[in-house]
Structure 1
Amino acid sequence: VGLTMLAAVAYRDNPEECGLQPDGLSRDHPDGTTGMITGVSLQHARQTTAFWIFIAAMFMSGMVGTALPFHVVDIHVQAGLDRSGAIAMFLPAAIIAVIVHFTGGWISDRTTLRPHLVVYQLGMIATNVGLVYLDESWGRPLMITGYGIQGGMARLLSSVTWPRYYGRRHLGAIRSYAVAFGVAASALGPTLFGLSADWFGTYHIAAWACIVALVILLPLAPLARESSIGETKE
């Protein structure tokens, strides 16, 4: 109830209601308007290559990001590691995620999001490679680092990508559509990793499948180009 009351008093639908402008938005638009909310519809967004490249990356992140914590104890046990170490991995991963999120956010104001997409996918690859080689001395640090990078970039790209590429006019519809894929991936990831353990006696098969998928997606990142589509008024 307290949070609901706080949201009712403090929440605003957009920065303009507070007399503010989003970061990077010029006060003087070429068409002579100020702070006009622009953008394209979900239908138009779905017709772009960049939309599906980001959706695919976020789908893989949803799978890996939920499968690992869901099975983390058993993954460590299979690698001959202590159960307590399984839970302990999330603290350093969270610290890495915060650093990556802050640094990536600062950089995103000064560059395109394509390098962020590459780092995002490399983090997921590192997570799965670390999982496969968890019994090696370098496996666990690699998995923790990759998981932290993936987590930090996931939060950044899920909030920055859609308004950057497609504007804010239909942001709710576009982001909701993307979130639906993330929810589906979050349900599918633990299931696939669980089936891998049940059928093959190891999580490595599912991890290798994710690695292959991500290696295929990685070269597509340069195709996720920003354009003037986000500035189109509808």
Structure 2
Amino acid sequence: MIWLLMRSTLLSLCLAGVTMAQVAARPGREPVAVDRIVAVVNDEVITLNELHGRLEAATAQLQKQGVALPARDVLETQMLERMVIDRVQLQLAREMGLRVDDAQLEQALQRIAANNKLSLAQFRAALEKDGIAYASFREDIRGEMMIARLREREVEARIFVSDSEIDHYLVNAAAGGASEEYQLAHILLRAPESASPEQIQKLRTKAEQILDRLHKGEDFAQLAAAYSDAPDGLQGGNLGWRPSERLPSMFAEASAKL
């Protein structure tokens, strides 16, 4: 992985076939494709309609945040890659026996509604008013919860606290626990496992190009939506506010020098 660090607070740069819909045969009318397959993930498919639905939701969210949108084709590519990764993770979660039952899902939906200062019925009505099918939203949330549990299990198995992170924590604790907070955003360029030197260099060149565009004043959130491999890339890469002692040591050390 490659991260490039910046700070105003802290910014870290941290398919296949086509399906024709069933169309009523009418004399003199050409068949019309109403949907098609854009990706195949093992034995599951992602359709163009699914892609466009997710794309419209992400676009609306970015606009609500005031983020300048990248080109449509760039955003579409990012969204398709994100959907493929999510589908793979969901398949793995099911294979590992991870489940989210209806009662747990209902509690999560009620929390989401409460965070928006709405009852669940009002929240459902608001979604449908915006053209979002409640049943689809419900299953999307179930999927996100399963993926979150998968990541937690993977992280717990691999977690390692370095000596420098312990030292950083102790320095802050000795100072009375007071620390600055930073609003974080990141762009992650992910390297494949056992990446070759050529692949690493290609990623490094891409990172340097993105950094150069940032230095020239381009919008960070727009570049995150266009290029980040992180799940939050389509939300502008925003990670929220974090105290310095909760930052990875490489981020904390780099931010102190900027």
TM over 0.5: no
Q: Which has more helix, going by share of residues?
A: 1
Q: Greater strand share, 1 or 2? A: 2
Q: Greater relative contact order: 1 or 2 (C-alpha under 8 angstroms, separation 6 or more)? A: 1
